[in-house]
Structure 1
């Protein structure tokens, strides 16, 4: 079996072909629908630029719907955005 010598130009050409092939494959993949995104309290406070006390008040008065899983409070991102539009946060 004869030996083949690869040059840096050969490797560069191979790399470019590989990149183009990967781009083609990635472009064919359809983006998945975003599933329901839940945010933790810290993320909601950052998003709305509010304090922990204000967030608690919004939970208590029912402005922001939430669920509690094992001691962790989670907020549906879509519902947060909807509440922001309704209440102009």
Structure 2
């Protein structure tokens, strides 16, 4: 097997390439993901509730909503968090 001579210039070039790759990976993984917005019908399906119940939950400020030109939107992460925060344990410890 033949020996390969690596120069300081080769190492500096490798360093620049490696840092550039690392920077690209950091940007990909730290860039905020877009919100997943749900409409009322999506929330009704997800929670298996009626229109009246959803209205009641909005009125009580239990489920936050955002209104854009008359259309209500809900943040999917907020809906999921509300479900997790209201977890009820049964007597035997099972959900």
TM range (shorter): 0.5 to 0.7
Secondary structure at the counterpart of residue 36 of structure 1: coil
Unaligned runs of 5+ in 1: 1-29
Aligned counterpart, 1:83: 82
Q: TM-score, normalised by structure 2?
A: 0.57
Aligned length, in residue pairs: 60
Q: What is the root-mean-square deviation of aligned Cα atoms in Å?
A: 2.0
Secondary structure at the counterpart of residue 43 of structure 2: helix
For 1:60-89, what per-residue CA distance to the aligned partner results, in whole angstroms no more than 9, with x for missing partners? Answer: 001101100000000000000001111238
Aligned counterpart, 2:36: 37
Q: TM-score, normalised by structure 1?
A: 0.60
Secondary structure at the counterpart of residue 85 of structure 1: helix
For 1:29-68, what per-residue CA distance to the aligned partner results, in whole angstroms no more than 9, with x for missing partners? Answer: x8x9742000000000000000000000010001101100
Unaligned runs of 5+ in 2: 1-27, 89-95
